[in-house]
Amino acid sequence: MLWLPTIITLITTFCAIIIIIINFRILFNVFISKKLKRSSSLSLFYARFAVDGILGIINIFIMITVFFKLLHLEYLITSRPVPLFSIAWSSVITTAVRTLLSTIITLDRTFAVILPIFYHNSRTKCNNSIIIVMVLCWPILDNLILWVLCKYEVTVPSGCVTFACLSNKCFIYYSMGFELFSHSLIATLSLLLSIKLFYWNYCKKSGKSKDLERANFLALIDAFIIILFDILPAFSYPV
């Protein structure tokens, strides 16, 4: 067993546990204990917290499969392709939902800041619950692309415990295109949002809603995390 991969896997597992605790703790304090005030302007963020918590749980299962591989016991998993595929596929579709939700949040906050009048007149017509339901239906499209368009068949190559080697090229190209478009849009909109907020805070003195300020701040933090941990690492991989 290699020590470096083992240490990285342990750190990843620990981080996943922290993510689960933080996100579900926030939701608990908002919806159950009522220690935090619930705000309708943060509904999309609450959905994002739930998705992040679920993704953390899935990542723990993925790390368990990685541990099996490090112990040279991957045959115990690869001999049962359906459970292995289910874990890997759950991670893929949950990540896609997370990315789409982050894109919508950034888009929502950017329009609210840059075009406030248009946003106020049109945004009230679209309920957050409808948006969340539509986002949660995104895995249906992913399944159609995987099984129908890409004609995927479940096969487990020797030593494979992740979806990167479980999937076929067709779906990988689609997934990479979706991630590239979404992350590029998030980066661009975040830049516009940052410029506008800088102007508001330092060049224009006006009253601002605390809930809206908090939503904008959370959107920028979310975008920063995506840029730091999703976009920048992609440049380290050879084409």
3-state SS, residue 126: coil
Q: How much is the pLDDT for 239?
A: 42
Q: How much is the pLDDT for 233?
A: 62
Q: For 14-73, what is each residue's pLDDT tens digit?
A: 999 999 999 999 999 999 999 998 988 889 999 999 999 999 999 999 999 988 888 888
Angle CA(157)–CA(161)–CA(163) in degrees, nearest 5? 85
Indicate the DSSP class of residue 40. Answer: G
C-beta separation of 131 from 100 below 8 A: no
Q: Which CATH number goes with the domain that contains 54? A: 1.20.1070
**Which burial class, exposed, middle or buried, applies to 14 when counting CB atoms under 10 A from its CB (0-12, 13-18, 19+)?**
exposed
Q: For 142-195, what is each residue's pLDDT tens digit?
A: 999 999 999 999 988 877 888 888 999 999 999 989 988 998 898 888 888 887
As a whole number of Å, the end-to-end CA separation of the chain is 29
74 lies in some domain: yes
239 lies in some domain: no
Report pTM: 0.87
Mean pLDDT, to the nearest integer, of 210-231?
A: 72
213 lies in some domain: yes
- The whole domain housing 52 covers 3-234
131 lies in some domain: yes
149 lies in some domain: yes
In total, how many domains does the chain have? 1
